[in-house]
Amino acid sequence: MSSEQHIMVEVAYALSDQQLIIPIQMPADANAETAIQASGILKKFPEIDLNVNKIGIFGKLTKLDTPLRNLDRVEIYRPLIADPKEVRKQRAADGKAMKKGGGDAPPEE
C-alpha cells in the first residue's frame, strides 16, 4: 500500500498531571472515532466515555464521525472541574479584581 492511502494523525488526552499524545497511521477514510479506537487510549484511560467526553480537532469541537485529514490531532476533553462563569461570579461576589496580564501595576482610576 502506498502512503497516499494512509494519513498520520495524533490522538491526545490530558489529565491534570500528565498528557498523552499518540501518533498513529490511519486509512485515508478514517474518522475521529476510529482513530481514538485504534490509538488504544481507551484501554489506558478507562474513564474516557465517548458518549460523555467531548472531542475536538485542534481545539475545535467536533463529532465522532468527522473525517480526518493528514496531520490532524484528535483531542479528548475532560469535564470541567469548575464552571468558569461561576468562578467569575464568585470572584465578583468576594470583591476580588481579576488581573489582566501578569504585572503589578496599580489599578486604573
CA–CA–CA angle 78, 82, 88 (5° rounding) = 135
The SS3 of residue 92 is helix
Query: 8-12, 77-81, 96-100, 102-106: which has the highest mean pLDDT?
Result: 8-12
Q: Which CATH class is domain 3-76?
A: alpha beta
Reported confidence tier of residue 1, pLDDT bands at 50, 70, 90: very low
Contact present, 74 and 9 (Cβ < 8 Å): yes
Residue 59 grid coordinates: 481545539
CB atoms within 10 A of CB 43: 9
Instruction: Determine the Cα–Cα distance for residues 13 and 54; give it in Å rounded to an integer.
Output: 11
Is the overall model pTM greater than 0.75, yes or no?
no
Name the residue ranges covered by the structural domains of the chain.
3-76
pLDDT tens per residue, range 57-94? 999 999 999 999 999 999 999 887 667 777 777 788 88
